[in-house]
Structure formats: structure tokens, C-alpha cells
Copies of this chain bind each other. A is one copy, B any other.
Amino acid sequence: MTELRSVPEPGSLLVGTDGALTGRTSVYEKRLGDMGGVYRDESAYRDLLAELGPDHLVYRVEEHRCAEGPGALTIGTSTMQPGRVGAEYAVTRGHLHAVPDRAELYHCLSGNGLLLLETLDGRSEALELEPGRAVHVPGHWVHRSVNTGDEPLVTLFCYNTDAGQNYDLIAQAGGMASLVVEDGEGGWTLRRNPDHVGYPGAVA
């Protein structure tokens, strides 16, 4: 029998298109000083760090959790600032879920960008994010958000709390297989990352 007294209260959330999540239970921020090793052009990263300082905001996540266990969801907003490091557009660290079969929803509320997705065995997708567009990330896809616009990229996300995040996998692979870089005409293009050595655990 379920212990009904332990059933948590539902969450009433106000979801701003600026990423403000009224009713949230936690917030975290990633700043430029946290992003070492994420961008391929290390010299451009060091120059930007010297220019903007380690506390410069890169992205902010506000989220709501109300339970643990296999059925629990984490619902939140991610707000990524625009910018580039060298030719590479601003990215989140990116992850595979620690429980890799867990899926995730990203629903774009404002701004313009991409969700970059790769499987361990080399499939790759870059799916557009713009207001009203959503991406359903199935399990087993490494994924990261990329801000290719001039404004903050804001998404509403939803995933199973027990999914967790494996943030080390991308570093172990020498970065994701694709880089999202400026195309010289004000837009973006995908470029193969020559440092990518394949993901650990991939089937040969």
C-alpha cells in the first residue's frame, strides 16, 4: 500500500519566456570559469576568460522537483546567453543520461539555437530550436544545447529525476563529433571535430 501521507504537493509554476521559473525548488548557474575544456579553441577560451572574467554567466537552470523514485520528473528552464568562443557558438556542457535509456523534452520558449544530438555509435543530428519548436530526445542520445542567435536561448525541459547526467563522456571522447561554428555569413554550420575519438562504450 502506498504511504499516502508522503505524497508531495503538486507544483504550480509560472514559466517566463525569459526563463524565470516562479515556484522553482532550485537554481544553478554555469559561468565562463566552469567551461574549461568544453570548447575546442582553448586559446580563444583563455582570451575570453581574460576579457570577461570567470564569473561571466554562460547559462542558468531553474528547476522544480517534488519527489524521488522512478516516476519522478524534473521540470525546469534553461537560459543560455548568446556568444561564441572562437568560431564555436555558445554550448551547454552536454550529457548522456547516467541511466542512458531516459528521454528528455526541450521546448523552446525564446531565442534561436539547436539541440545537437549524437549516439555512441556515430549517428548525429542537429535539430532547430526556435519559439514553439520542441525536441524529443530519446534515451541513448548524447545531447547539448547551442545558442546560435543574438538573444538568450530559453527552453523548458522535462526528464526523469532518476536519469542523472554523465558529463564526463564528451570530454573522454575529445568533444562531441560535430562542432557548431559560424559560417562566415552570419549563420551557423556544422564542422567535424578532428579531436573526437569516438565515445567510450560504443559498439565497434
Chain A positions near chain B (C-beta within 8 angstroms): 1-2, 4-5, 7-17, 64, 66-67, 69-73, 75, 97, 99-105, 107, 115, 117, 119-121, 123, 125, 127-128, 132-141, 156, 158-160, 163, 201-203
Whether B17 and A66, one on each chain, are in contact in the complex, defined by CB atoms closer than 8 angstroms, is no
Known: A7-B141, A67-B101. 11 other contacts (CB 8 A): A2-B101, A2-B203, A10-B125, A10-B136, A10-B141, A12-B135, A71-B100, A72-B139, A75-B136, A105-B158, A158-B158
How far is the CB of A48 from the nearest CB of chain B, in Å? 31
Query: Which residue of B10, B135, B138 contacts A8 across the interface (Cβ within 8 Å)?
Result: B138
CA distance in complex: A121, B4 (Å): 7
Residues of B within 8 A of A100 (CB): 2, 71
Whether B138 and A67, one on each chain, are in contact in the complex, defined by CB atoms closer than 8 angstroms, is yes
Please, which residue of chain B has its CB at the minimum distance from the CB of A8?
Answer: B138
Whether A137 and B10, one on each chain, are in contact in the complex, defined by CB atoms closer than 8 angstroms, is yes
CA distance in complex: A64, B133 (Å): 13
Whether A70 and B73, one on each chain, are in contact in the complex, defined by CB atoms closer than 8 angstroms, is no
Query: Which residue of B107, B139, B163 contacts A15 across the interface (Cβ within 8 Å)?
Result: B107
Whether A4 and B140, one on each chain, are in contact in the complex, defined by CB atoms closer than 8 angstroms, is yes
Please, which residue of chain B has its CB at the minimum distance from the CB of A122?
Answer: B4
Residues of B within 8 A of A11 (CB): 134-136, 138
Residues of B within 8 A of A125 (CB): 9-10
